[in-house]
Structure 1
Amino acid sequence: MSATPPDSAESALPHPVRLRTLIDEISQLTLHVQELSRMAEEARELYERGVLPAPPDPRELVDQVENYRQQLEAAIVHIFEQVFGPRTDTIERQMSMRLIAEIGPEAFVQKVLWGEEISDIALTIALERMIPSLEQLVERYPSAFLSQANSLLNQFKAG
């Protein structure tokens, strides 16, 4: 007889290979969102300087960025379900989803891993089981989650 009941939290842990696949998908979506955001900023600067004419409908690019963000959020929700189960009424899940909606998925991951405010620390403690997966995500795609550090490093390289 198994020491872990089939309905326990431990038996609900996802298979490591499936979780890695989900993390890879989130990483790819994050990179797409950041690339589109960078492109949108460059285009805005060119339009403002008059170098390029504005596109017929500039909302298309914004819609693309928003679409990728929604896909990334959906992937994070899926990881929540894999790690914590399908319940949406937990305080951890509700707090996380509200925060992702407010600040975006990239900033959410940064807050969980490196936040210094008391609310960030509480979030990190609540999501402790996700930390190894989030750390792997950052290690695999550091440019997606370390954009501020990369920006400073690029300034030093150029100077």
Structure 2
Amino acid sequence: MKTINVLGYSRNNEQFVVKTQNSDVRISRNEKFPELEGPSPFEYILAGFAGCVNAVSQQVAAELGINLKSLQVEITGEASLEERVGFNKIEIVLKPTTDASLSVLQKWLQLVQQKSPVYDNLVNSTPVELILYKEYNYAA
């Protein structure tokens, strides 16, 4: 079991910054400050998913002895902003450059799907707790 923690904060409704173990990630879609625009939360979800699929793809290819010369991962999310806010559908297209046969690549794809933790979390129900902590200012 490994615990992964990030901390996000914003001040004065400006850019939202998330501190990760190795970097700061800036998320902003704020009409008030267009110069601070960055990827939306939806785009960050898809980017993280693409990064995970890439890492797992490379690992599985090595395990199967597949020589991946290059790999393109294209993820398209169909997002709804009305009834159920979120993705209605996510499509992943993998475009490997390799000499491996189609049957080997199909096995590779199946293993990538099975071993991807992000895929598992999006496809299966993962419990999420939303906790409120109110900071109180005490007047002395």
TM-based fold match above 0.5: no
**Higher relative contact order (CA closer than 8 Å, sequence separation 6+):** 1
Task: Give the TM-score taking structure 1 as reference length.
Answer: 0.30
User: Normalization by structure 2: what TM-score?
Assistant: 0.33
Q: Which has the higher strand share?
A: 2
* Structure showing the higher helix proportion among its residues: 1
